[in-house]
Copies of this chain bind each other. A is one copy, B any other.
Amino acid sequence: MVLNEMAENYYSGFKKISLQFITAEEFKQIEKTSVHLRFKKGETILKQGHQPTHIAFLQSGIVKFNFFSEGNGKNTILTLVSAPKILGGANLFYKDNNLFSIVAVEDCEVFLIESNILFELLKKNGRFAVALFQIASDMFKQSILNFISVANKQKEGRIADVFLYLSGEIYFGTSFNLSLTRKELAEFACCSVENVIMTLSKWQQEEIITISGKKVEIKDINKLKQISKIG
């Protein structure tokens, strides 16, 4: 009974969204063929290059979309996503193999849904399809915004963008416990680790942020926005 309740809460976010569009009966169909899992920080939820057999619903935690380049052995973080959200946008859209990996940045609870089951429901229910696609495509928009940032701005502007994103879309506040390493910040901002560090040091001196250990506080968000704007 306790277990049942836990399971109930486990996918409640997804269930709540779904039941606005599909019947309880139809939701049971999804439930039967899906699993819920916990992932520890650093574990891979969906792997780049694999076949997309599942759609993931992120119930709690934070994940990164990680692209590994064979050519030079470098990682790029396309975007970060915090719960609750539908992951596996790539899988929703294409039949292609996963473009990137999805990796837990903090401990996560995930609800893995068989994609062909979900797809059948989407085809039967246009409103559900439209709603899910709109949710899922948010991540694409973020990737594109990130692209634009990388393409147009130099380091400082990009790192400012990263912190504005963390503050606005991930931690929802100006004060948070950073769960990314400096290396991950660098992979997100597309620059070297040293550059992240130097920029952060500079910002500390200018009293734009304070960092101690993993604790980050943005003291002057307007200045950050300014830096982002200038590029």
Contact = CB atoms under 8 A, between A and B. Distances in A.
Interface string A111-136: 00000000100111111111001100
A32 interface: no
A6 interface: no
B76 A151 contact: yes
Contacts of A126: 122-126, 128-129
Given A126-B122, A133-B133, A137-B93, A151 B150 contact: yes
A166 B216 CA distance: 44
A190 B70 CA distance: 21
Contacts of A205: none
Contacts of A67: 148
Specify how many copies of this chain sit in the oligomer: 2
Interface stretch (A11-19, A38-46, A139-147, A174-182): A139-147
Interface of A: 67, 69-72, 74, 76, 78, 90, 93-94, 96, 99, 119, 122-130, 133-134, 137-138, 140-141, 143-148, 150-153, 157, 190, 229-231
28 contacts: A67-B148, A69-B148, A69-B152, A69-B231, A70-B229, A71-B153, A71-B157, A71-B230, A71-B231, A72-B231, A78-B144, A78-B147, A90-B141, A93-B134, A93-B140, A94-B137, A94-B138, A94-B141, A99-B144, A126-B126, A129-B133, A137-B140, A140-B140, A140-B143, A143-B143, A146-B147, A150-B150, A150-B151
